[in-house]
Structure 1
């Protein structure tokens, strides 16, 4: 087989491997090698390549696309998780956006669902660091875009770092819509410090703050505290929230709406 055909065949296998891991979350190198009928050494090379591309995270004996308290899952995984819940939350958040507003959107897949609903709420100025969000809204009549620069992070498909924070600090918007990877005991959490810095800057740059939080993130913590949940004007959750979790939020005086 020619080198070109071998390369194409490997890319096809990598695509199939990525789809499988996104669907199942985790896998061992041995099991994956058997399922794809390749040697264990070949599978380790494939998994090393997927890790290099930021699509999986390796651990002893296997890989995962799922988040932990220290690592966030890839944007590809997050785009496939809790889709119906995120869409319900986005529909509730849409009513908070009015023509003539300036709004800031973070790089979360929950807020991406809101971006997909903004067509028709015009004129509107949208500020974001999320490349997927920029692509979604580019060319939409009546929506003006401001892209936040910085260092590109392929794991999040967004721009982060000092450059992004400084770009945010130069702006003031009517409202910001963000999500985070975990929330518990009245606090919002995230695994990665550079993400926390950007989210905090976004919250400081907005007159009103809204948190879009699917129920799968409730009752979980991560390495870094972002802000207290009471910092938000409204926290929008889906109906998967338990009665105990909802009661806890309300007892803490946190404004919450169930989509």
Structure 2
């Protein structure tokens, strides 16, 4: 299906979001030409994407900040790097054994893992991610523990002091988290409120595993979540460059490269 073929508003808005992220910015006129719709329609689409926190409008166009709200939005994250996340989730699922207590963060990679292990019970699964809770709630063989707190619609998850206190009352066998950047031997993230929750999750687990697609390697973000040495292993995908893997080797990090289907 070409860009000029007829498509519904939601599908077109998804395509606009992906295009803007790939380019970094776009003018309304460019989007009109690309999608074959009116300028008024494009402005309506951009208004909706801005309302969702996915893009930022300016006079005549729109921008995407990779380290900002665009990247944080679960609406966007769920659509990006799908093949890579599925490959990483498949590798991570091999670490899960029946009877384990597992903690999952609010990453879409952890959600892909949840889909793979939901029938591997009996399991206890602990998460603050509403998407995971909705997925796992009806599943037999899974004891589901919801981490409450302040609901954050941008991430569709629960955070804050109450969430951290709930995490600190538990100890799990395995914790799977993802971060937005890996550099200089550290896993990092751009949002302080997210970092606080991830740190508490790592402290609550006997073993920790970092799930990051290749686009996160060599990137920087404001806050350090943890040194890579705190993870039993890092799982990435086969899009990782040789330089990025050499950097992991330099920091003596055990890692696994998952092959995409």
- TM-score normalised according to structure 1 size: 0.85
Q: Structure 1 residue 61: deviation in Å?
A: 4.4
* Residue aligning to 2:156: 157
Q: How many residues align?
A: 245
Cα offsets for 1:147-201 (capped at 9, x unmatched): 1111222221111222211221121111100001111111111111111111111
CA spacing shift, 1:141–1:186, aligned 2, 3 Å = same
Structure 1 stretches of 5 or more lacking a match? 1-11
* Residue aligning to 1:19: 14
Q: Structure 1 residue 210: deviation in Å?
A: 0.4
Q: Structure 1 residue 251: deviation in Å?
A: 2.2
- Preserved contact between residue 130 and residue 157 of structure 1 (Cα < 8 Å): yes
CA spacing shift, 1:185–1:68, aligned 2, 3 Å = same
Report 1:1-259 matches (<5 A).
13=9, 15-24=10-19, 25=21, 26-32=25-31, 35-39=36-40, 47-59=46-58, 61-64=60-63, 67-68=66-67, 72-259=71-258
Cα offsets for 1:198-219 (capped at 9, x unmatched): 1111111111100011111111
- Preserved contact between residue 65 and residue 74 of structure 1 (Cα < 8 Å): no
Aligned-residue CA RMSD (Å): 2.3
- TM-score normalised according to structure 2 size: 0.84
CA spacing shift, 1:245–1:171, aligned 2, 3 Å = same
| Partner SS state of residue 162, structure 1 | helix
Structure 2 stretches of 5 or more lacking a match? 1-7
- Preserved contact between residue 71 and residue 191 of structure 1 (Cα < 8 Å): no
